[in-house]
A and B are shown apart, each in its own frame.
Chain A
């Protein structure tokens, strides 16, 4: 399951890295999960997504735009949730995992998906230009 999910994760990495080392990366990841545990290795994978995958995809708009959209949406939604829970009449209201999922993750994923579809559509329709000559 972990290896399968990581393989899907690799779609966000530059194509040449995926082609040359994708199988080895998945193998190393699976072995690392066995030795180091899920949480530590997945945290490292998420960090590498931000530090390795996205900088490597600077020129690939269909990855960069949805990722930025996800990040910005998650940031604003998190801020809203944080303010909401801290300004609530009951001060002991904590951020629950379900709240985070419903208020932060789902809208951010939806936003990223819309951004992905729009970017792909725009790329396919790029022949439509305002050529007025």
Chain B
């Protein structure tokens, strides 16, 4: 029952949104740093460009999953920094839990397949 409530509150995330939230889980970052971290996290398999990045950032800001914060004192003033909010953390946790459950299921299925062959 509780799991159902969590799933209803946090629908599955799009790959770009998931990677951005994941990149911000390690601390505040500006756009380009998020882009680099997202590529690193996906082992360069997800090519995220500026348009995909900022369209997703716009959606995440609108849904209060991230917020804009003040950057470091001596940082580049042209850059905006972003931080994960409570809602963002819960969405990321729910997505990771969903992925973990899928991996467990796939492992179990593989075991069954191995048994049947």
Contact B51–A48 (Cβ < 8 Å): yes
Partner among B31, B49, B58, B78 whose Cβ is within 8 Å of the Cβ of A44: B49
Judging by beta carbons under 8 Å apart, are A17 and B49 in contact?
A: no
Neighbouring B residues of A21 by C-beta, 8 Å = 31, 54, 57-58
Q: Count residues on chain B whose CB falls below 8 Å from chain A CBs.
A: 16
Neighbouring A residues of B47 by C-beta, 8 Å: 44, 47
Surface stretch bound by B, among A23-31, A74-82, A118-126: A23-31
- The A interface is mostly helix, strand or loop, or mixed, namely helix
For chain B, what secondary structure do more than half of its interface residues adopt (helix, strand, loop), or is it mixed?
helix
Judge whether A25 and B51 touch: CB under 8 Å.
Answer: yes
Q: For window 1-50 of chain A, which residues contact chain B by CB distance below 8 Å?
A: 13, 16-17, 20-21, 23-29, 31-32, 41, 44-45, 47-49
Q: Which residues of A contact B (CB under 8 A)?
A: 13, 16-17, 20-21, 23-29, 31-32, 41, 44-45, 47-49, 51-53, 56
